[in-house]
Amino acid sequence: MQARYDFPKTAPAVYKAMCALEGAVMQNPDLEKSLIHLIKIRASQINGCTFCVNMHLQEARADGLNTQQLDLLCVWREAQVFSAKERAVIAWAEVITLVSQTGAPDEDYNAMRQFFTEAQIAGYTLATVAINGWNRLVLTARTVHPVDASATAPAAAAAA
């Protein structure tokens, strides 16, 4: 796959605005960084954004998130490693990511209300909106994720 264009260079003002939104979300002291990581990874998985999945998994690992949770996030409903609060956030991220299909049901909103204030819910909603925006920008620009040399070695050896 070849990149179509370099978004930051093509639309620098919009890129700067996206970065400002991202910064506001990440610097919000009322939001748990670990939950934002789960939101970013899960939305990126749903959207099929390899660049963002790769980047946010690396960031989550660097921040010390539970490896088993990261490994099982794509099947979180069946996994027993997530708390009720984490499940509420992941479900909320999913319904927002798939809003044209889900309509953001009251059931999921009410699950969020069990753990978070309205301001926090708005913050986690904006975190989800931001990553969905990034996913769509990266996917349409066909931004290529970096590949570690060690990741390609087994495939190259098998082909030989």
Mean pLDDT of 12-36: 96
Mean pLDDT of 95-109: 97
Q: Which residue has the higher pLDDT, 100 or 143?
A: 100
For 3-8, the CB contacts below 8 A with 24+ separation are 3/141, 3/142, 3/143, 3/144, 4/140, 4/141, 4/142, 5/141, 6/141, 7/137, 7/138, 7/141, 7/143
Domain 18-145 belongs in CATH node 1.20.1290.10: yes
Using CA atoms, how far apart are residues 10 and 14, in angstroms rounded to an integer? 9
pLDDT at 20: 97
Indicate left, alpha or beta for 84 from its phi (over 0: left) and psi (-120 to 50: alpha).
Answer: alpha
User: What is the pTM assigned to this prediction?
Assistant: 0.89
Show me where the domains of the chain are located. 18-145
pLDDT at 5: 87
Model confidence band, residue 160 (pLDDT cutoffs 50, 70, 90): low
Model confidence band, residue 151 (pLDDT cutoffs 50, 70, 90): low
The proportion of the chain whose per-residue pLDDT surpasses 90, expressed as a percent, equals 82
- Residue 156 CB neighbours (<10 A): 9
